[in-house]
Amino acid sequence: MIIMKVSALIPAKGFINAKHRLAPLLSAAKRELLAEAMLRDVLSQVVLARGLEAVFVVTGDERVSEIASSLGAHVIREENERGETEAVTFALAEMKQRAIHCVLVMPGDIPLLRSGDIELLLEQISAHDRSVPFALLTPSHDRMGT
């Protein structure tokens, strides 16, 4: 079995573009504050998780970059924010160039996430033969999404 270290990747768009689905309930300013608070909460827990080699944030936004760096994450800057899938694809290519091959991709807005939750996921990853490609999907508590 080949042992590879796991790094985390969090795609994060600019706060001004976040949480549009909450527009009927929250003003633009409140949505920005919520998005920033959620990213800060997630990053503060992810960087504490034992077993991660590094934490990366991919973004095209300067404010997100500053916050991510201040909380101990490495920033991968994209020129333009083109969406989550494109951001992750871009970041994975950048990470591969840095010889990072085992990546835990997670959203930056997971309410109540704790470092121990990530450590449990890492235990599942470490139990798998990493010389074979695989994906680990974790369902939501209501089993309606991932």
The pLDDT tens digits of the residues spanning 130-145 come to: 566 666 666 666 665 5
What does the pLDDT average to over 71-86? Answer: 93
Half-sphere exposure of 90 (CA within 13 A, CB side): 20
Average pLDDT over the chain, rounded to an integer: 88
Runs of H (alpha helix) within 6-61:
28-46
Q: Strand, coil or helix: what is 64?
A: helix
pLDDT at 1: 43
Tokens representing residue 27 in the block: 């003003």
Tokens of 121: 């996921």
Give the CA distances from residue 123 to residues 5, 67, 72, 102, 128, in Å, rounded to whole numbers and listed in that order.
12, 28, 23, 14, 9
Of the two residues 42 and 3, the one the predictor is more confident about is 42
pLDDT (average), residues 106-111: 92
Tell me, what's the pLDDT at 137? 65
pLDDT of the residue at 81: 84
Stretch 61-83: mean pLDDT = 95
DSSP code at position 139: -
Q: Which domains does the chain have, with CATH numbers?
A: 6-126 (3.90.550.10)
Nearest alpha-carbon partner for 103 in 66, 74, 146: 74
